[in-house]
Amino acid sequence: MAMNSLDEEIEAAYRLEKSIWPILKGHRPEVQNVVIADMLATFLAGHAPPLREVVLEQTIELVKTLLPVNEAILFEGKGHPYTLERPMEKTFDEALMDLIDEYMIAAEQNDNGDVAEMREDIISALELRLMALKEESE
């Protein structure tokens, strides 16, 4: 299957993420926080001032959507070690389905109208994420 531009963008994003995290790894959370906050501020500064609040809200929503999935991956579905007394609110499958639903909503908002193409884009995005995770574990 030939890659379309969305596949290429997603793959590029995961390659970039894979190159950034080793630099942050091992630093205290406070240091990581400053770096990520500064990168986010630079990202937002590149948008016209009237759009910044909307872009920030969209980014925060994306982070909230990705958080349970990343936590499940990071902690192998067991939840964060400091929350063992209260298990994860969602199972890994529930979090994954929520992520897929979010992808569908985002694709529908782009309104390209082709449901089959939206599903293919979602499958491609998930496949690329799984490939990246497999590479990280090797």
For the chain, the structural domain boundaries read 5-137
Q: Contact, 24 vs 35, CB < 8 A?
A: yes
Query: What's the pLDDT at 47?
Result: 95
pTM of the complete model: 0.54
Between the CA of residue 78 and those of 19, 28, 60, 69, 90, what are the distances in Å? 26, 23, 24, 12, 11
Going from the C-alpha of 38 to that of each of 27, 32, 55, 110, the distances in angstroms are: 16, 10, 15, 29
Exposed (0-12), middle (13-18) or buried (19+): which is 52, by Cβ within 10 Å? Answer: middle
pLDDT digit string (tens) for the chain, length 138 residues: 456 787 888 888 888 988 998 898 888 888 888 999 999 999 999 999 999 999 999 999 988 888 888 888 887 777 777 665 555 566 767 777 777 777 777 666 666 566 677 777 777 777 777 777 667 666
Round to whole Å and give the CA distance between 30 and 9. Answer: 30
The angle formed by the CA atoms of residues 118, 10 and 131, to the nearest 5 degrees, is: 100
pLDDT value at position 85?
56
DSSP 47: S
H or E segment and range at residue 29: helix 29-45
